[in-house]
């Protein structure tokens, strides 16, 4: 059940100017989220902010809206030439694109211009946009440094700096890049620093960036999983496809983000769905950036019913009002389950997660239930229930191989995390 979330504040009481209130109204936001209530007045008062918040809390608007207000006031009466006065750094391309889109939407009536730069694509379109002049630059660290080295970007006019998703930034090994970028920023500036978690290395990094920051913290309004309705189908491997078609017969399930563990799995599912005349597309690491963006845009526009993604490809993507997530397999790392289903139920919206579990994955369900501290509801009306049927020799072999692979993945991820935090500590 979707829990009623009580909020009493109104955007009108946060000291915002009309052009912003008008855009917020167009976005049909009724009330500010808790992080917006806390952050907007602080940023308007030019405080540095250390924000402990996850995506899905409305954090982008919490920094974008007040920054736009500052920029709007300062632009009044100025000539048409533009300098980069606000810089937002974020770890992934998908997040960068979404943040830039947010600036465009919230800033629709302010005349403030933004652009976004990220790696993996040709730089020409990006440098062309920069040449036109922008007030806000949203960037991933690698491409930013690259274009700075080539002389396309100078940071000497930056007044408002945001470091977004700092913990993920360090996880992804961006610490040196971040240091280089900070070194080029003017000393006199307002800085905002956001991270979902605050381990010691993050707090230390924040000290290098912020001056007398005010700390704000919001936990997701209800732990994400609590507001998401979760269902579980136990079935056999050989029945998964049929079961998926059965699930998709429900007309209420208009759009689905479906997770598969492997790239091959994603492609196979898309092929099967297309055979059934269900519009589907895959996003994973073997697809080009353009391909992924196109699939995501088509999904957002409602042209595709099922978007099939690997965990990595889906990181950080935000699909407004996504109601259904399907787990075509059960992740072996329990936290991955929470990340996956957290794509729905954002900013207090309703959401459902449906998981399909084959016998060999039963143990993973127990791990997940331990982590989320609740039982997932088992769907009784299941035309393809799990049977005790023993696996064939071939299936057994395949499963053994997959199990080994999953184990390796688990330990590789763990080691990577440990190595990164070790190397960070050493360099300090």
Exactly one of 29, 152, 231, 245 binds ligand AMP (CB under 6 A); that residue is 29
Task: Decide if residue 239 touches ligand AMP (CB under 6 A).
Answer: no
Q: Is 224 in the site for ligand AMP (CB under 6 A)?
A: no
Question: Residue 157 carries which DSSP code?
Answer: T
Count the residues of the shown chain that bind ligand AMP, applying the rule CB under 6 A. Answer: 15
SS3 13: helix
Q: In what order do the strands lie in the sheet with 256-259?
A: 280-283, 306-309, 256-259, 324-327, 351-357, 228-234, 377-378
- How far, in Å, CA of 419 to CA of 266, rounded? 30
Residue of 292, 218, 293 whose CA lies nearest to 40:
218
Site for ligand AMP in 319-338 (CB under 6 A): 320
Give the count of beta carbons closer than 10 Å to the beta carbon of residue 405: 13
Q: Tell me whether residue 106 or residue 384 sits nearer to ligand AMP (CB atom).
A: 106
Query: Between residues 34 and 141, which has the closer beta carbon with respect to ligand AMP?
Result: 34
The smaller minimum CB distance to ligand AMP, of residues 336 and 344, is found at 344
Is 230 a binding residue for ligand AMP by CB under 6 A? The answer is no
Is 56 a binding residue for ligand AMP by CB under 6 A? The answer is yes
The verdict on 107 binding ligand AMP (CB under 6 A) reads no
d(CA 398, CA 395): 5
Q: Does 101 bind ligand AMP (CB under 6 A)?
A: no
Return the closest-CA partner of residue 160 out of 139, 136, 127, 130: 136
Closest CA to 151 of 176, 184, 182: 184
**Minimum CB separation from ligand AMP for residue 300, in Å?**
11
Q: Which residue in the set 20, 42, 48, 57 belongs to the binding site for ligand AMP (CB under 6 A)?
A: 57
Using CB under 6 A as the binding rule, whether residue 58 contacts ligand AMP is answered as yes
Return the residue of 47, 55, 110, 195 that touches ligand AMP, per CB under 6 A: 55
Q: Does 152 bind ligand AMP (CB under 6 A)?
A: no
Residue of the chain from 42, 47, 59, 331 that contacts ligand AMP (CB under 6 A): 59
Cβ atoms of 260 and 329 within 8 Å: the answer is yes
Q: Is 276 in the site for ligand AMP (CB under 6 A)?
A: no
| 67: contact with ligand AMP by CB under 6 A | no
DSSP 8-state assignment for residue 14: G
Please count the residues of the chain: 428
What is d(CA 223, CA 238) in angstroms, rounded to the nearest whole number? 34
Span of 31-39, 116-124, 126-134, 302-310 interacting with ligand AMP by CB under 6 A: 31-39
In the bound state with ligand AMP, the residue whose beta carbon lies nearer, of 67 and 269, is 67
The minimum distance between CB 166 and ligand AMP, in angstroms, equals 15
Q: Note the helical H segments in 249-288.
A: 263-275
| Under rule CB under 6 A, residue 90 binds ligand AMP | no
Question: For the CA atoms of the chain, what is the radius of gyration?
Answer: 23
CA quadruple 260, 262, 268, 271: dihedral sign: positive
Asked if residues 172 and 421 have their Cβ atoms less than 8 Å apart, the reply is no
**Stretch of residues binding ligand AMP (CB under 6 A), selected from 56-64, 121-129, 203-211, 283-291:** 56-64
User: What residues line the site for ligand AMP (CB under 6 A)?
Assistant: 29, 32-33, 36, 55-61, 318, 320, 346-347
């Amino acid at each position: 059940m979707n829990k009623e979330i009580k909020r009493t504040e109104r955007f009108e009481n946060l000291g915002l100017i009309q052009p912003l209130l008008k855009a917020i109204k167009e976005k049909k936001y009724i009330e500010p989220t808790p992080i917006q209530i806390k952050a907007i007045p602080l940023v308007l008062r030019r405080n540095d902010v250390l924000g402990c918040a996850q995506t899905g809390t409305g954090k982008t608007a919490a920094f974008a809206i007040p920054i736009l207000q500052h920029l709007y006031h300062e632009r009044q009466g100025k000539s048409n030439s533009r300098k980069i006065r606000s810089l937002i750094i974020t770890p992934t391309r998908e997040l960068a694109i979404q943040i830039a889109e947010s600036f465009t939407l919230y800033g629709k009536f302010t005349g403030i211009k933004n652009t976004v730069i990220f790696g993996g694509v040709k730089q020409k379109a990006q440098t062309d946009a920069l040449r036109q002049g922008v007030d806000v630059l949203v960037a991933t660290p690698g491409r930013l440094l690259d274009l700075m080295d080539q002389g396309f970007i100078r940071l000497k006019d930056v007044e408002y700096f945001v470091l977004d998703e700092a913990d993920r930034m360090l996880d992804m090994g961006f610490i040196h890049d971040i240091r280089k970028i900070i070194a080029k920023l003017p000393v006199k500036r307002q800085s905002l620093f956001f991270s979902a978690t605050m381990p010691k290395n993050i707090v230390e990094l924040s000290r290098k960036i912020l001056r007398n920051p005010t700390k704000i913290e919001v936990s997701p309004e209800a732990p994400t999983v609590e507001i998401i309705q979760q269902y579980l189908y136990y079935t056999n491997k050989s029945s998964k496809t049929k079961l998926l078609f059965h699930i998709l017969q429900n007309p209420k399930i208009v759009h689905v983000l479906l997770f598969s563990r492997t790239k091959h799995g994603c492609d196979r599912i898309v092929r099967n769905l297309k055979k059934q005349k269900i519009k589907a597309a895959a996003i994973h690491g073997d697809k080009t950036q353009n391909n992924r963006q196109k699939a995501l845009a088509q999904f957002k526009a409602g042209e595709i019913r099922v978007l099939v993604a690997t965990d990595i490809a889906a990181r950080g993507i935000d699909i407004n009002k996504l109601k259904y997530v399907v787990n075509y397999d059960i992740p072996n790392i329990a936290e991955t389950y929470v990340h996956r289903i957290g794509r729905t139920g954002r900013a207090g919206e309703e959401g459902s997660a449906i998981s399909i579990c084959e016998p060999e994955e039963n143990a993973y369900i127990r791990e997940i239930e331990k982590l989320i501290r609740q039982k997932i509801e088992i769907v009784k009306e299941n035309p393809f229930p799990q049977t005790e049927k023993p696996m064939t020799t071939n299936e057994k072999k395949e499963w053994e191989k997959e199990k080994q692979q999953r184990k390796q993945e688990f330990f590789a991820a763990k080691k990577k995390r440990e190595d990164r935090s070790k190397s960070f500590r050493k360099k300090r």
